[in-house]
Amino acid sequence: MHIKTATFIISNTDVAKCPNEPLPEYAFIGRSNVGKSSLINMLTERKSLAKISGRPGKTQLINHFKINGNWFLVDLPGYGYARVSKKSKKTFQKYITDYFAKREQLVCAFVLVDIRHEPQKIDMEFMEWLGQNAIPFCIIFTKADKLKPKAIERAINAYLAELIAGVWEEAPQYFVTSSSKKMGRDDVLGYIDAINDEFFKKTLR
């Protein structure tokens, strides 16, 4: 897919104030620092569309970016990081769960996980929560440039095995990406393109 336009539209913490056009929307979620904002820039080939930082907690709002005039990418704050109490660190911020629970335009959530890390409880819990709320999601493994091909394969197999050993009957669709190496771009955009096609076929019917 060619990205002709990628435009920042609005930031907020209230799902009711998100753009109200009936366009398909894809949200990027995961632990702080996993590379959500970097991935959005990589996919759109825009260096600083989404704000990036080496320090966790950079993205603090729900950010809507309109792509090619007819779909949205959404950059979200990370979970699992808070300078406040341990208790609030464990829970997902209310406005983020509200966004997922109420956003009708959301067609797929991309849950990002750092390919170097073992499955983390907070990611597992978030995926379970998405499942319970019937929200479709895929896993995006990030920072694949940090591992060699064999280690990538091992990491993915171990991750998927743990999912299947848990509550999931089958492994979700997944993608392997590196924002610094531009890896996985065509796969993720191809997936989005296919969903968009379905979406517009249905709405034109």
DSSP 31: B
What is the nearest approach in angstroms of ligand GTP to the Cβ of residue 19?
21
Of residues 16 through 45, those in contact with Mg ion by CB under 5 A are 36-37
Q: Interaction with ligand GTP in 17-36: which residues (CB under 6 A)?
A: 32-36
Stated as kind and residue range, the H or E segment containing 190 is helix 185-204
DSSP string computed for 69-128:
TTEEEEE---BS--SS-HHHHHSPPHHHHHHHHH-TTEEEEEEEEETTSPPPHHHHHHHH
Residue 52 C-beta: closest distance to ligand GTP, Å: 4
Confirm or reject binding of residue 142 to ligand GTP (CB under 6 A): yes
Residue 49 and residue 65: Cα distance in Å, rounded? 8
Binding characters for ligand GTP, 61-80, by CB under 6 A (x = yes):
----------------xx--
Q: Which is nearer to ligand GTP, 110 or 199 (CB)?
A: 110
Residues 45-84: x/- map of binding to Mg ion (CB under 5 A)?
A: -------------xx-------------------------
In terms of CB distance, is 125 or 168 closer to ligand GTP? 125
Stretch that binds ligand GTP, among 6-14, 161-169, 175-183, 188-196 (CB under 6 A): 175-183
> 80-89 as b/e, with b when 16 or more CB fall inside 10 Å?
bebeeeeeee
> Binder to ligand GTP among 59, 63, 105, 196 (CB under 6 A)?
59
How far is it, in rounded angstroms, from Cα 101 to Cα 114?
Answer: 25
Alpha-carbon distance 110 to 175, whole Å? 10
